[in-house]
Amino acid sequence: MTRRTVATTEPAFDPDLAWLRGRQGVKWAMCEDGVLPAWVADMDYPVAPAVREALESTLARGDLGYPAWSTWSGVNPLAEPFADRMAALYGWRPEPAWVRNLGDVLQALQVLLRLTTAPGDPVAVQTPAYPPFLKTIELMGRQILPVPVERSAGGWSCDPERLERDVRETGCRTLMLVNPHNPTGRVFTGDELRSLAEVVVRNDMLVIADEVLADFVRAPHRHIPFASLGAEVAGRTVTINSATKSFNIAGLRCAVLHLAPTRVREAFDGYPPDFFGPVNVLGVEATKAAWNDGDPWLAALLDQLDRNRELVSEAAAQWAPAVAFDPPEAAYMAWLDCRGMGVAGPPAAYFRSEAEVMLSAGETFGPGGHGYARLNFATSTSILAEILDRMTRAVRRA
């Protein structure tokens, strides 16, 4: 389905290098002088005008006290905006009364594992996977059951038959579904999701669906919420979403959970209000502004990312066959297969020392990540061109 709005103006997506180096966030602060960061999934662009105006208005009013909404009052300021957005974009309307708020996707996973699993339980996770997801499962004493997302001639996919076999052998009852997938950028089709849903229903599984990258899906691909696949699937699915990725406001710590399974919702509500930590006023105001008024900026952002994706594709064509690359169907991360380079050690370490470019190390993404590196291309055209030029010279040296 098409978006509700299109870009009417071209925002500034050409940040100055000096301005970026003055940032105190982790992406730039972790890089020494001379190194260009292309690792953690933060974008380098200024705040969307609608979000900035909402924050400035809140500050101008001095509205940083106790909000009129709270978990104690039973009022959820994000329930209706979330439901309206899902209905408008994907034809799926969540039940507003089932929406709860937490700080981010990682916290949501931690809370859900606490509520629905016990130490030692297996948790099926698509691998390679976002490293903090893997670390969370490990630190909470659960067992990771890999669901390999593997590359073939047809692109990236996972095998539902293998999943069903592994689920039955281990007794696994929880699936962590990341769609669009991080780090490959794969957008799963309706047929693929329905095949997974059949496994879920046959084996009485709970699905934790991380769908925070949905805003980045590009035509002809389309995002299909897992909970939209029918009542039986919806009743087993917790959907996690947030404006923090698509509007680059992760530091404001605000996410929503749609708790369709009754047992999960009752378990969550069995704790005192704010037990898991309330969301903050600025995070809520920014999220509402992003969802209600941010689509023109988002449309322009996607156009910029399309141009950057093309630059990466052009560079990767020069790197072949040493580096293999499938352009992502969503988001702004390029998952680079560097196994053909023949370098000793992790490719990300090679590019940092030889190209002064900081990438995410594929090894940290678990099974399927060795020999890979992840490149974040959400930066200015000029900075990306310099990153790619440095990497091209390093690939040739390898």
- pLDDT for residue 4 is more than 60: no
How many CB atoms lie under 10 A from the CB of residue 396? 10
pLDDT in tens, 344-386: 999 999 999 999 999 999 999 999 999 999 999 999 999 999 9
Beta sheet of 206-210, edge-to-edge order: 99-102, 255-259, 237-241, 206-210, 174-178, 122-127, 143-148
Do residues 309 and 377 touch, judged by C-beta distance below 8 A? yes
Average pLDDT in the chain: 95
Whether residue 341 sits in one domain with residue 228: no
Confidence grade of residue 312 (pLDDT, cut at 50, 70, 90) = very high
Domain that holds residue 270: 57-284
Please report the pLDDT score of residue 395 as a whole number: 97
Find the helix or strand (DSSP H, E) in which 256 lies.
strand 255-259
Separation of first and last alpha carbons in the chain: 44
Half-sphere exposure of 35 (CA within 13 A, CB side): 20
How many alpha carbons lie under 13 Å from residue 166 in its C-beta half-sphere? Answer: 19
Looking at residue 12, its pLDDT comes to 78
pLDDT mean over 292-312: 97
- Split at pLDDT 50, 70, 90, the class of 70 is confident
Kindly report the CATH number assigned to the domain that includes residue 126: 3.40.640.10
* DSSP-derived secondary structure for 196-207: HHHHHHHTT-EE
CA distances (Å), 215 to each of 224, 319, 352, 353, 372, in order?
A: 11, 30, 31, 34, 25
278 DSSP 8-state letter? P
Shared-domain flag, residues 257 and 363:
no
Q: Please determine, for residue 72, whether its predicted confidence score (pLDDT) is greater than 90.
A: no
Mean pLDDT of 1-18: 61
Q: Please report, rounded to a whole number, the percentage of residues in the chain having pLDDT higher than 90.
A: 92
If asked whether residues 67 and 213 sit together in one domain, one would say: yes
Q: Binning pLDDT at 50, 70 and 90, where does residue 2 land?
A: very low
Contact 141, 120 (CB under 8 A): yes
Supply the pLDDT for residue 10: 45
Q: Are both 233 and 352 inside the same structural domain?
A: no
3-state secondary structure of 15: coil
pLDDT digits (tens, 9 = 90+) for 120-164: 999 999 999 999 999 999 999 999 999 999 998 778 999 999 999
In a domain, 247, yes or no: yes
| 145 and 268 housed in the same domain | yes
Q: Which residue has the higher pLDDT, 9 or 356?
A: 356
More confident residue, 54 or 74: 54
Of 130, 67, 76, 65, whose CA–CA distance to 102 is shortest? 76
Share of the chain above pLDDT 70, in %: 97
Confidence band of 44 (pLDDT split at 50, 70, 90) = very high
Domain contains 9: no
Please state the separation of Cα 219 from the chain's center in Å. 18
In a domain, 8, yes or no: no
